[in-house]
Structure formats: C-alpha cells, structure tokens
Structure 1
Amino acid sequence: MAEAFRAGAGGIAGLLRFLTEYGEALEWDVPHYWPGRSLLELYDGRMSWRELRVFLKGLPLDSLTARAVRGSTPEEEQWTLDRQLAASMVDAIRENTFATVKIGGDPKKTRRLKPPDPIPRPGVTPAPSKNVIRFAGRHGSGAAQLATVFGGASRQ
C-alpha cells in the first residue's frame, strides 16, 4: 500500500500530477467516453483511483486527453491516419493520371504539362523545385548540369 503513495511516476501521486496537468481535458472525456459518469465522482468517493487508471488506459487516441498529452496543434489533430491515407491515395491517383496523359498524349500538347503538387499536410514542407536536366533540344546535352550535380567538371 505504501508504494501507491510514492512520489514516482505511478500510483495515486502520479494520477494526481496527471489530473493537475490534464484535468480539464479529462473532465470532458469522462462523460463523453463513459456516459453517466463524471470526474467529480473521484472526489466524492463514487469512483476509485483504480477505475480512473483503467479508464485512462482505455482512452482512444483521438480523445481530448490524449491530444493534450501529445501537445499537438488542432491542425495536426485533424490529419488522422485515415485522412493521411486518403490524401496519399489521391496523390497517387493524380500522379498516375499525369503519367498516363504524359506518356500517351500528344507530345506537342503535353510538353508544358507539370506534375501535380501533393495535397499539403501539416508539418510537411513542400520540397523545393528540382532542377530539370534536359538532354536534348535547346538546352544542350545536359552534361554541364550533371557535372555540377555530381561535383565534377564537364567535358564538352
């Protein structure tokens, strides 16, 4: 029983620290995920510390408490795994459509066609525009550009 009151990470002391830091979020989550219950029940003795610990372990990742613990921004929280996967599928379909049109289309009409930009995601900065190395036409063989990429001098 004495271990339950230790000042370490676990036990009632740990739950008290957790309540101090994330109590407002937990106050919202208890009635939301545990209908008919309230966090006030802990203080008037109708909820045990063990029940609170079990409840916390079972909270889903999208609960307000879990989001508060992660410290993520509201924009990041909107991008759930499902939304990330959906955006990846849309990007892949758009890239495939671009490649199909570019390969199967009339070169004169598709010459200026640019690949689609990916759907913007929070925390991901778009890649800087890449240098296009052209190997024919007005821009020469591209050997000078390749040499600068690989750090050597070109032989022309």
Structure 2
Amino acid sequence: MRTGPFPACRTLLCGFVLLASLSACGRKSPGAHVYGPHCGICHHGGGGMPGETPPLVGRLDIIAQTPEGRTYLANVLLYGLEGPFKTQGYSYRYSMPGFASQLSDHDIAVTLNWLIDQGETKPAPHITDAEVAAARTHIGTPTSTYKLRATLDQTHPLP
C-alpha cells in the first residue's frame, strides 16, 4: 500500500475537476445573457408563441445564410419590426421595438449567433460585429425593416 501525498493529491484533483465541471454547467453564453431580459419576455426560449410571437430558433439560421439576410436580422434588432407577415403557417400582426440605443453591436451579434446556433444549419452562419455596425450606419425604423423583409422575401423566401 502506498503512503504519502499521492492519495490526497488524487482526491484533491478529483474535487477540482468536479467543481470545474459543475461551475461550467451553470454558465450561460453571452448571447443567452442578452437574450433573456431583452428578447425572452416575448419570444420565450426562442420558440415564440403561435399566432402571437414568431419563433426564432429554426428560422434565423436559414435567414442568416445570405449577406442580405444577416443585414435584415441586424436591422430587426437595431430598429424593430412592424407589420403583418406569415411564417410556419401562422399569421402575425407584429410590432417589435428596436434596441439600437440599448445594445452594442457586439451584444446584438452574440445574441443573434446564440439563436442561430440553436438551428439545424451546420456549420451555422454567424453575424459579425462589423455587419451589425454597418447596419447601424443606415438609420432605420420598424417600418423600414418591414419593407426590407418584404424585399428579402422576394429574393430569398423567408421561413
């Protein structure tokens, strides 16, 4: 039988590994932290509410596959969206506020990417801080975002 510090070191090492594993379980991604208080109240976990609030998960990854789609998504978070549309068989008469004055380009990008990563598209297309910054230079409104949506839907049908 061995004596000395080795059994104690092994026990201590196992304890540190367990502690590190447990602390990692409770961590949220930066996107999830931003999403919760700004988006989660209406969109819930990203699944929305049929006929009331459109789902995000399973749609944003498809929309973000084109540069135009990424610009549209950035505009939705920056300037909001207002107007009727249909998705996944449900009609929405939607009014969403913009967050241009509350969220940084980075906050918007990580939030969108967190939602995009939950979709089925692999590898998932990501939105960069620079793409959000570029969208921010063209001041918009919820109505202009709605018009952008209609144009995008003609060239790249939206899910």
TM-score (norm 1): 0.24
| Greater strand share, structure number | 2
- Which has the greater radius of gyration? 1
| Greater helix share, structure number | 1
TM-score (norm 2): 0.24
